[in-house]
Amino acid sequence: MNEGVENDIPAGPTGHDCIQGYLRTLPSRPGVYRMLDAQSRVLYVGKARNLKARVSNYARPSGHTPRIARMIRETASMMFLTTRTETEALLLEQNLIKQLKPKFNVLLRDDKSFPNILVTGDHPYPQIKKHRGAKKEKGSYYGPFASAGAVNRTLNQLQKAFLLRNCSDSVFETRTRPCLLHQIKRCSAPCVGRISGEDYAESVRDAERFLSGRDTKVQETLARQMQDASDAMEFERAAALRDRIRALTQVQTAQGINPRTVGEADILALHMEGGQACVQVFFIRAHQNWGNRDFYPRVGEDVDHAEVLEAFIGQFYDTKEPPRLLLLSHPIESPDLMIEALSEKLGRKVEIAVPQRGEKAELIEGALRNARESLGRKMAESAAQGKLLRGLAEAFGLETVPERIEVYDNSHIQGAHAVGAMIVAGPEGYLKNQYRKFNIRGDELTPGDDFGMMKEVLSRRFKRLLKEDPDRDKGLWPDLLLIDGGQGQVSAVHEIMAQHGVEDVAMVGVAKGIDRDHGKEEFHRFGERPFALRRNDPVLYFVQRLRDEAHRFAIGTHRAKRAKAVSANPLDEIAGVGASRKRALLQHFGSAKAVSRANLADLKAVEGVSEALAERIYGHFHESG
């Protein structure tokens, strides 16, 4: 893609004079340019059909918006990458924006992957499950869904309707009797032969037809089968079919919007107000609404709808597969270029439209209403959050209002399955994509040593910060640390921070206080006397919510770790024991514990277990004996 690279010229003039110095050597070709400040931080990334023509616009002394004028004044150097086509320049520009997060670009800040439903394709009895991430597993994918909740609700109803298994292949192979899902009529129990391969395959085809939008035919077929069962006096079977039809109807009802004329599209509606923006995205697949998500890209004061929406589309689909149709609330700057880029990514034609009438326009109006209401709620929440942060700074004697608060907590049961947790909050509330968990590794720690665990967590945290953001210009450093504990924890954390040369980050310990009562918290700062806030102080409630959120996250992480340890099967750790041999061992002995107690002769008697494997299994459980 990149045919030439030009680096910045030596330090010297800034602003218009600096930019003017590049015009003599710039080619009149497509490419991407970067504007950097005196500390070589990227201010802006842009694309151009003609680099020389685009950069010459910045060299003009007047005629710029306030945002662009400020960006030009801060520019101390520039970098350039030439490309073969403008489409390549667009793709490279969006990639660099996501990577570098420039100060003056429109930036999509929340860019998580979206879950899909996967019907596996590498097993005689396919599994239906939620899938997130790269589509490497064999099978049919349906999505995206806007959230895990939307997928789980749909999967729940699909299990009722089609009775497909959701267990893993290893669990499937080792079942000897139907599980609870079969008893509550959510699975047809193919693992123990309660349904034939042909009938299960038909159920899979019905599920895939429903997920592909051919749901009417599926429901018609089930309705005929229900009537036939009723006529044949098979009332129990008729009732089961009735329940399956209801489950499908419930999926459609929950989806709300089910457009007749739009089979596959993403609906993107933008509302801007008060220097903030909200993009509402609805996912329409197979004539069904698979949920919506709102996004709040970072925008400047003087950007227009076309620039924001085009930047959003480029960054949003950088790592996602676009649909065949994008319905937009506003035109974008370069629709033909975006169509070409998205079509190249998808491998088939992508259309972009701004509908003015009909059902598509109604869909856009609904999405716009959601965007407007979502932004209104967020602005109200941000105003309240800002007031609380100012109150927090005043209560704790901070020099500035904190932009990033990190709250730490530990969770364990008598030292077992110990984890540390960090949550992050700021002017926009909880930043859940910044949450982190820490598996406690210290072998020398005494079980239940909260001081030691907190030391380990903070040590690992600041080591990483010093490595990833030594100049503190990426927004990763906290302005305030909240620690669950009193003077002892505060002293321990202060020691760790001093060891790493970090002495300018404010830290406060939150202790339960008298009788460990909610509302009587004491606050500790290193080298200062503890203090308390008024019982009805909004700042006190705010700190309590932060601490409770950290506790919730720590407890959830601990429970997940403990559940994983409890469900682990020791047979999985033995090389050569796959699903079929594990099933044979469990059927022969009844449990993994019984296998561990078996003698060598009994292990050799199990079908499929060779003498060498029997010795390996015996040795695994008797290494110390």
192 and 135, same structural domain?
yes
Domain end: 564, 586, 611, which one? 564
The pLDDT of residue 8 is: 44
pTM of the model: 0.72
Burial class (CB in 10 A: 0-12, 13-18, 19+), 573: exposed
Q: Decide if 533 is inside a domain.
A: yes
Residue type, 484: D
> Rounded to 5 degrees, what are φ and ψ at 373?
-70, -40
Hey, what are 221's tokens? 């077929």
Q: Decide if 608 is inside a domain.
A: yes
127 and 69, same structural domain?
no
61 and 90, same structural domain?
yes
Domain end: 547, 564, 581, which one? 564
> Rounded to whole angstroms, how far apart are CA atoms 436 and 313?
29
Domain end: 86, 105, 124, which one? 105
The pLDDT of residue 10 is: 43
Q: What is the CATH number of the domain that holds 48?
A: 3.40.1440.10
Q: Decide if 9 is inside a domain.
A: no
602 and 472, same structural domain?
no
249 and 195, same structural domain?
yes
136 and 85, same structural domain?
no
> Rounded to whole angstroms, how far apart are CA atoms 308 and 107?
9
Residue type, 393: A
Query: Which of these, 18, 39, 13, 60, lies nearest to 103 by C-alpha position?
Result: 39
Question: Tens digit of pLDDT for each residue in 226-273?
Answer: 888 888 887 777 777 777 777 666 665 555 556 778 888 999 999 998
The pLDDT of residue 246 is: 73
Q: What is the CATH number of the domain that holds 615?
A: 1.10.150.20
The pLDDT of residue 448 is: 60
> How does DSSP assign 508-555, residue by residue?
EEEE--GGG-TT--EEE-TTS--B---TT-HHHHHHHHHHHHHHHHHH
Per the structure, the complete domain to which residue 57 belongs is given by 15-105
96-135 b/e with 16+ CB inside 10 Å = b?
Answer: bbbebebbbbbbbeeeeebbbbbbbeeeebbbbbbbeeee
227 and 309, same structural domain?
no
| Placement of tokens 């100060």 in the chain | 103
Q: Decide if 393 is inside a domain.
A: no
Q: Decide if 598 is inside a domain.
A: yes
286 and 250, same structural domain?
no
| Stretches in the chain below the pLDDT threshold 50 | 1-11, 624-625
Q: Decide if 352 is inside a domain.
A: yes
Q: What is the CATH number of the domain that holds 476?
A: 3.30.420.340
Strand partners, 406: 424, 481
The pLDDT of residue 377 is: 86
The pLDDT of residue 447 is: 63
Give the residue ranges of DSSP H helices in 101-184: 148-162, 169-174, 180-183
345 and 309, same structural domain?
yes
What's the domain count of the chain?
5
Hey, what are 590's tokens? 């009844």
> Rounded to whole angstroms, how far apart are CA atoms 593 and 587?
13
Q: Decide if 400 is inside a domain.
A: no
245 and 277, same structural domain?
no
209 and 68, same structural domain?
no
Burial class (CB in 10 A: 0-12, 13-18, 19+), 224: exposed
Q: Decide if 110 is inside a domain.
A: no
The pLDDT of residue 432 is: 87
328 and 200, same structural domain?
no
Q: What is the CATH number of the domain that holds 316?
A: 3.30.420
